[in-house]
Copies of this chain bind each other. A is one copy, B any other.
């Protein structure tokens, strides 16, 4: 959920630009039921009057996913290049916001002047078209924000990384004061490989298959889609794209002219009529997402198409840590169908979109920044990147979420930690990660939920017996009797004996009932459940 803010001006009154408004994805472990995780932008919202504009480096969800959700809170001009702008426009329109809020800009040498900032988009190679670094000039010096990037001289779709242009950028004026730099692959020791190296292995692989071939990759990796489609065509196969995200990306890339020469595609209906050995599907869901096309095919027929013994399924992708369970589930489902599952074969059928350690070093050497601020990656990645920079005599500082760095002097200084965190899109509303809503869900999932209702009459006497409902708890306890009955019995005993001062006091009733329910449940089934107590009091007419 990348969101970076640059400021220039007197302390506390800096003019600001926002770079990216990204999301991250929920999981059962920490955020069950949540739809999207976004940065908590409370500080940004309360300083919205100081924002000059919002810049989006590229159209990956972790950089653009929160744009439509947060724009209504910020209402500032958005700047992006054409493909990114097209994806952003689709998001805004879905949220009922005019696509005109986005200004589509040309790359360097075009300069966007905003308050004290002069900003240029500089093409870099990545796993989506038009990924861009930003060169941000301020009266105090030049900053470079790399965005996500790799060093690829032949990225198939989109612009190559251009060392000559970057050399110029580093030489102009006083050079680069600070480089905010991608750290994702800092632990990958070998130089990164070009997207172009995949064409031959993929073509050979697909030519060798006998049945239907299905390949999955990230929907936004338009270059890979093209390589895969061309490999399929070279093997005499017709291409069909499955999955809304993928069709949307290809359309946006074609409409904005960044993708040309993509082979014609079949509709799923027409694909279903093709002989299997003449067909190749390129599908969404490389990360095992339950609703994507890969998962759907692993469960059976999808849009009239079905995997069979002798077919092949290729993961032209890497599993992002945390997604292993979902991916493995799909692999095994295909294996059970007799489908040949092919993974990236140690990189033969997939390359990363991020600069590896030697590439990052090369960028340090090329740009000669006076300071490096590592970004993108977990804390251990940022720390490793900082150590790399420092080992070469470059000032560096790890900035965790909420950190404000002062870049005025040669060595970056941490000047403030802004209270920040995560905001959840939960259904249709935004909630704070610490609001307790999700905590309660996790507790119910771990402990089960006991509901108890008691009616107290006008004289503060129990009317009838307590009623117990269980959800997510074993029906039967150790002694072989129904757990709900056991709790009800204990509560009946309690109610029969409870003194009036307890019966007349809601808090005391709640505490006592809760305690009994937890005790009985612990004894009977060994769990301490969540308990909701409803005491209804009849009021004298």
Contact = CB atoms under 8 A, between A and B. Distances in A.
Interface of A: 27-29, 32-33, 321-322, 324-325, 328, 331-332, 334-336, 338, 341, 378-380, 383, 400, 426-429, 431, 435, 437-438, 440-442, 444-449, 451, 453, 455, 463-464, 467, 469, 471-478, 522, 524-527, 530, 532, 534, 536, 538-539
Given A321-B328, A530-B471, A429 B476 contact: yes
Chain A interface helix/strand/loop/mixed: mixed
A325 B321 contact: yes
Given A444-B441, A467-B534, A477-B429, A527 B379 contact: no
B427 A526 contact: yes
B378 A328 contact: yes
Q: What number of copies of this chain does the assembly contain?
A: 2
B28 A429 contact: no
Given A32-B446, A379-B332, A463-B538, A472 B322 contact: no
Contacts of A445: 28, 32-33, 441-442, 444-445
A400 B336 contact: yes
Contacts of A476: 429
Nearest to A333: B379
A148 to B, nearest CB: 19
Contacts of A455: 455, 536, 538
A284 to B, nearest CB: 20
Contacts of A440: 448, 471-472
B331 A472 contact: no
Nearest to A441: B472
B33 A472 contact: yes
Contacts of A33: 445-448, 472, 527
Given A29-B28, A445-B444, A463-B538, A469 B429 contact: no
A288 to B, nearest CB: 11
A336 B383 CA distance: 8
A471 B27 CA distance: 19
24 contacts: A27-B28, A27-B325, A33-B472, A321-B325, A322-B325, A331-B378, A332-B378, A332-B379, A334-B380, A335-B378, A335-B379, A336-B379, A336-B400, A427-B474, A427-B527, A428-B478, A428-B526, A437-B473, A437-B475, A438-B472, A451-B451, A453-B536, A471-B532, A534-B534
B379 A437 contact: no
B536 A380 contact: no
Contacts of A446: 32-33, 441
B336 A474 contact: no
A388 B266 CA distance: 37
A346 to B, nearest CB: 9
A194 B322 CA distance: 30
Contacts of A429: 474, 476-478, 524-526
Nearest to A189: B346
A533 to B, nearest CB: 9
Contacts of A380: 331-332, 334-335, 341
A103 to B, nearest CB: 31
A172 to B, nearest CB: 35
Of A32, A467, A472, most buried by chain B (CB within 10 Å of CB) is A472
A416 B527 CA distance: 38
Contact of A534 (B341, B451, B474): B451
A14 B430 CA distance: 62
A464 B536 contact: yes
A331 B536 CA distance: 50
Contacts of A383: 335, 338
Contacts of A472: 33, 437-438, 440-441, 444
A307 B533 CA distance: 43
Contacts of A473: 437
B441 A474 contact: no
A536 to B, nearest CB: 6
Given A27-B28, A451-B532, A471-B530, 12 more contacts: A28-B32, A28-B445, A33-B448, A426-B525, A427-B525, A429-B476, A429-B478, A429-B526, A437-B475, A451-B451, A464-B539, A469-B532
A438 B448 CA distance: 9
Contacts of A475: 435, 437
Nearest to A331: B380
